Amino acid sequence: MTATEEPDPPRDRLDVGGWLSDLTMASSFLTRLRLPGAAAPAELTPGRLAGAVRAFPLVGAGVGLAGGIVYALAYWLGLPTFAAALCALTAGALITGALHEDGLADTADGLGGGKTVEDRLRIMHDSHIGAFGVMALVFSIGLRAAALATLGTPWLAAAALIASGAGSRAVLGLVMRRLDPARPDGLAASAGRPSEEGALTAAAIGAAFALLFLGLGTGIVAAAAALVAAVAVGQYARRGIGGYTGDVLGATQQAAEIAILLVAAAKLGSV
């Protein structure tokens, strides 16, 4: 653990106040919504974010629910399912400030275009988007929209959005726990390392959402697919830059969300 990292202290699982505090912190970081008492991302104290990872899937479920409502409205207005899916994804991006999409694009540019670790980190830190980033965004939006359109009905689309929103953010704590920050400064270093209990609690909550909204069989496969996607992105980042950054977390979320939605479309969608 580096000097800039702060350990995540043990949490009382039944402490309602602690859960509300973590939910406020997670919402402040993962979305543009500011719950009462929430700090701006720039004001987050070192190590505090790691303690809130158990609430990440709850925030993700809320983002998915909002997207599901937008999908239903578009569907009932007579829009084609693909257009309704794009509306739902747009709503999610507006709520999160396209935080994860931005991370995906930066990660793709850095890992795809850089020759050395220093070069990759420099590219990822650059706010400009390159060819790899554009391609990653096109594939991410296209695959997610196509999967939702295949599901068709508002209920199935909303269920998949809730499950994928929760599950894709549930795996972030595992990445933060298993990998080291790639930079001595920045989000990854200041966020801290979640406790094993915190990371596993988030993963369990994400899996529970997948099982509840996608059914037992599909939920198990979707949760496994999200984990595989997270491991793949994490290992790719570890080999490419030696660890993770905030951008890598965004790419991980996108990969896991795609995986869950594709499983849902394959198992529950209409041909």
Residues 6+ apart with CB under 8 A from 66: 91, 92, 95
Confidence of residue 215 (pLDDT cuts 50, 70, 90): very high
Confidence category of residue 250, pLDDT binned at 50, 70, 90: very high
Domain-wise residue ranges, the chain = 53-268
Q: What is the pLDDT of residues 37-87, one digit of tens each?
A: 555 555 555 567 888 999 999 999 999 999 999 999 999 999 999 999 999
CA distances 56 to 63, 83, 168, 177, Å, are 11, 28, 9, 14
Dist. CA 253–CA 26, nearest whole Å: 14
For residue 4, pLDDT over 50 is answered with no
| Predicted TM-score of the model (pTM) | 0.91
The pLDDT score that the predictor gives to residue 3 is 37
- What pLDDT digit, counting tens, does each position of 143-174 carry? 999 999 999 899 999 999 999 999 999 999 99
Which one is predicted more confidently, 215 or 269?
A: 215
For the stretch 102-148, pLDDT in tens is 999 999 999 998 889 999 999 998 888 999 999 999 999 999 999 99
Contact 176, 90 (CB under 8 A): no
pLDDT at 50: 87
CA–CA distance, 168 with 257 (Å, rounded to integer): 5
User: Region 216-242: what's the mean pLDDT?
Assistant: 96
Structure tokens at 117: 């670790």
What is the C-alpha separation between 71 and 98, in angstroms, rounded? 18
Per-residue pLDDT at 192: 84
Alpha carbon distance 250, 171 (integer Å):
11
More confident residue, 51 or 10: 51
Please, what is the average pLDDT of the chain? Answer: 90
Predicted pLDDT at 1: 42
Please report which confidence band the pLDDT of residue 206 belongs to, taking 50, 70 and 90 as the band edges. Answer: very high
Give the helix/strand (H/E) hosting 237: helix 216-241
User: With 70 as the cut, is the pLDDT of residue 29 above it?
Assistant: yes
What's the pLDDT at 232? Answer: 97
pLDDT at 270: 72
pLDDT of residue 34: 72
